[in-house]
Amino acid sequence: MSRDPSNRRISFCVLHRDGRVLHQALDVLPIYSTTKTIIARTIHLLGIDPNARISEWIEKDVCPHPIRVKQLLNHTSGLIDYGALPAYNQAIAAGVVWDDQTFGQHTLQRPLLTTPGLAFAYSNPGYWLLKKIIEQVTNQTFAETISRLIFEPLEMNSAYVAEDQFAPNLPRYPAGWVWHGLVMSNALDVAKFLCSLDAERYMDNAFPVGEMHPTWHDPHYGNGLMIEPGEHFGHYGGGPGYSAAAMHFLKTGVTACVLESVSDPAAPDPAATTLFKLVEDLGY
């Protein structure tokens, strides 16, 4: 992984099980897909039935498929993702941000990869649908709802939903490219949020991912959480310029978060690599 240390920005935090801050260095950075955990928690806090069909809130011309909320939450909806689509990357290069209709035409209105509920397939569009359900239920914007339900009660004072250009070094990549919404935060606030989740229920709606990873031996995904059963749960995030990782370790009760700038966009989950090394080096 290639980095220029002189330009590197990093925010990290390690919390004890009782909430004490053990180590921290704070800077507000994008958390990218770690936003999904916040979306999933909001669905739970609103009491939305995970077995409900999304057609209760989403019109057929937006997404015509017979998908349930729980299948969006654990990425078994069968919806395709947009990250690898040539048209998506061409549009980013051209500086033309897709609107909701264009995103939907490339993803939600396309044939499903599999019958819903049968297989894991990571889908950012699925979490956009969850965001829209939140807005339908609350009659508020996504930013207003998560501020009221999550940021304010947990005193996540650094956290907010990004709009337009969220990083000065990414003039051609505004927040609109992260379709489900993009939260900005420091590592302390992300760690506080993850620490607030009910560790007794972390396996709820968990589905086996079926992919191997150097730090994952039996990976599952459920309710906005990446899960190694009996070991740790949390989420990674990655996109242009930045990487994020937040993880709660079940055996020690420690919660850690690393957000950092990266100069190598091809490096796999650099913040996660930093996080696991940090926790190991500190003896947690």
Chain centroid, CA 109 distance in Å:
23
Structure tokens at 109: 């209105």
User: Which CATH number covers residue 200?
Assistant: 3.40.710.10
Question: pTM of the entire structure?
Answer: 0.95
Chain centroid, CA 18 distance in Å:
25
Answer for the pair 79, 126: CB distance below 8 angstroms, yes or no: yes
Structure tokens at 18: 């009782």
Indicate the residue type of 131: K
Structure tokens at 269: 């989950």
pLDDT, one tens digit per residue, over 39-60 is 999 999 999 999 999 999 999 9
Whole domain around residue 135: which residue ranges?
Answer: 5-281
pLDDT, one tens digit per residue, over 153-171 is 999 999 999 999 999 999 9
In whole angstroms, how far apart are CA 88 and each of 31, 160, 179? Answer: 21, 26, 12
Separation between Cα atoms, residue 190 and residue 186, nearest integer Å: 7
Q: Could you tell me the pLDDT band of residue 183, with boundaries at 50, 70 and 90?
A: very high
Q: How many domains does the chain have?
A: 1
**Residue in this structure with the two tokens 């304010």, named with its chain if needed:** 152
